[in-house]
Amino acid sequence: MEKIRVETSAIAGQKPGTSGLRKKTKVFMQPHYLENFVQAIWNGIGGAEGKTFVVGGDGRYFNDRAIQVILRMAAAGGASKVIVGQDGLLSTPAASNLIRKRKTDGGIILSASHNPGGLDEDFGIKFNMPNGGPAPEDVTNRMFEATKAIASYDILEAQDVDLSKIGTTSLGEMDVEVVDPVADYAALMEKLFDFGAIRELFARGFTLRFDAMHAVTGPYAKAILEGTLGASPGSVLNGVPSPDFGGGHPDPNPIWAKPLVDLVMGPDAPDFAAASDGDGDRNMILGKGVYVTPSDSLAVLAANAHLVPGYAKGLAGVARSMPTSGAVDRVAQARGLSCYETPTGWKFFGNLLDDGRITLCGEESAGTGSDHVREKDGLWAVLLWLNILAASGKSVAELLGAHWQEFGRNFYTRHDYEAVESAKANAMMDGIRGSLDTLVGQTFPAGGVTMADEFAYDDPVDGSRSAGQGLRVQFDSGARVVFRLSGTGTEGATIRVYLEAFENDPVKINADPSEALADVIETAEAISNLKAITGRTGPDVTT
């Protein structure tokens, strides 16, 4: 084994965002591309020497090769130890847990989350801090600056490390510990939830279908749901991780998980169904004949968390991302809880969690979490729902109906316009931005405008300010429209339009969402001129 220094030069466009650096897989496979960014990570955190890291990913194409590069670069950088999931697999929440439990100096997670995988699809890499959460902006900025100044990187010339066998081996002077990716995570879940009550629920004939979408949660779900908790064999669907996610799109929403939605709406529906995404941090919740929006899911969990052992003492507070509906705000107000509205991105929740200000948090893009880790956690959300169902004796539909009767209903949907030409997307946003000052007082089908602004967030913990976080328009009817450009795609721009209407009339809370939101949808178009500017006649994805 020999440490070598490889001369390189800066590669443009390696700026990590909220979820790290995401590009097409073939981009990462270009000479020096991955190595440059890994070296920039080391430079951005003050070097790797003497440090311990967690490394793992969702098993997508190029995951295995990238991990070997990272191991050799960590060894060359003087790291003392790297903890790796067996076969390179670690769900994002499991990686966060390992970082925290083993008190490491952080970790590298290889994933593009819910984006498709494969040679012609997407790949991603991000660094998580010692608290288990995504690197904050000051750290990612240092990494980006390092990518622009890089002239060389160090790497060890060595054979691949066998990641199939659990145990510790050496790579130069560095230890590589291969661990069971499920064990520590499963142990944490058992501490939080009443596994006995959930086992009894299944023993009474309660039926479940969990769609792992050929992604990383398959082994976790099979071990915990079918193994420990006794769900019937076959309850976990698509449970073997695949480098291209079975040719599908591992995003747990009604579009990409349509077979599961069709199942729960059909005659052979299970009592409960759920899905998770590529790296295991997102979730979709369903019951017989009912789809639970992520915003409603967060609110229901906040209202009922006291039924679960890990949260029986009550919640310190709750938080939601700005585009998420105000459903959880109503729970917080009724329960006397602090409620925070943050920008999109889990790192903002991390500060609130670390400071003890909140216990539960979530975002409308199918992410829910708590203070047990510093990432959103798909399987945890499923277990929390199961524990609440077991403790309450209600079905999903009954639990949701009772919630709306008590708190009112925030009808909600999101329209995504994907791969829009960036110039057109920016022109649309600039047009709305320029009209914000004139909107207040105007009347639209959704109601009279009471507030219109560009959301900015002043972090109550570290005092930092995050501006330009999305355009908000609020109406006197309780309706709201939000416009944002998403940073999770790898080409063009994704325009996201968030549409919300509130109803507290018990007679009207069971209305068809499309009808309840019709005026809001019409209003969003009137404000944005989206169709005329982009040429799009409708959204690519509706969730």
SS3 sequence, 69-119? HHHHHHHHCCCCEEEEEEEEECCHHHHHHHHHHCCCCCEEEECCCCCCCCC
- d(C-alpha 34, C-alpha 110), whole Å: 11
Max CA distance (Å), the chain:
73
* Overall domain count for the chain: 3
Check residue 492 and give its pLDDT.
82
pTM for this entry: 0.94
Which residue, 159, 180, 201, sits at the end of a domain? 180
In 240-334, DSSP assigns E strands to 272-276, 283-287, 290-292, 317-321
Which residue, 383, 407, 431, sits at the end of a domain? 407
- d(C-alpha 443, C-alpha 473), whole Å: 12
Residues 247 and 384 in one domain: yes
Residues 79 and 219 in one domain: no
Q: pLDDT tens digits for 520-538?
A: 999 999 999 999 999 999 9
Catalytic residue among 111, 113, 295, 321: 113
Residues 113 and 191 in one domain: no
Per-residue confidence band for 487, with pLDDT thresholds at 50, 70 and 90: low
Residues 448 and 432 in one domain: yes
- d(C-alpha 139, C-alpha 478), whole Å: 38
Residues 395 and 427 in one domain: no
According to DSSP, residue 241 is labeled -
- d(C-alpha 320, C-alpha 455), whole Å: 14
- d(C-alpha 276, C-alpha 281), whole Å: 7
Residue 488 clears pLDDT 60, i.e. is over it? no
| Domain assignment of residue 377, given as a range | 185-407
Residues 378 and 463 in one domain: no
Q: Annotated catalytic, 113?
A: yes
Residues 301 and 424 in one domain: no
Residues 324 and 423 in one domain: no
Residues 452 and 524 in one domain: yes
Contact 387, 197 (CB under 8 A): yes
CATH code for the domain in which residue 376 is found:
3.40.120.10
Residue 78 exposed, middle or buried by CB count within 10 Å (0-12, 13-18, 19+) = middle
Check residue 446 and give its pLDDT.
97
Residue 228 exposed, middle or buried by CB count within 10 Å (0-12, 13-18, 19+) = middle
- d(C-alpha 287, C-alpha 245), whole Å: 25
Residues 314 and 448 in one domain: no
Cβ–Cβ contacts within 10 Å for residue 419, how many? 13
Per-residue confidence band for 491, with pLDDT thresholds at 50, 70 and 90: low
Cβ–Cβ contacts within 10 Å for residue 541, how many? 17
Q: pLDDT tens digits for 186-238?
A: 999 999 999 999 999 999 999 999 999 999 999 999 999 999 999 999 999 99
- d(C-alpha 259, C-alpha 238), whole Å: 12
Which residue, 180, 215, 241, sits at the end of a domain? 180
The three-class DSSP label of residue 271 is coil
CATH code for the domain in which residue 466 is found:
3.30.310.50
Residues 370 and 494 in one domain: no
Residues 104 and 202 in one domain: no
Q: pLDDT tens digits for 134-156?
A: 998 899 999 999 999 999 999 99
Structure tokens given for 98: 């390992």
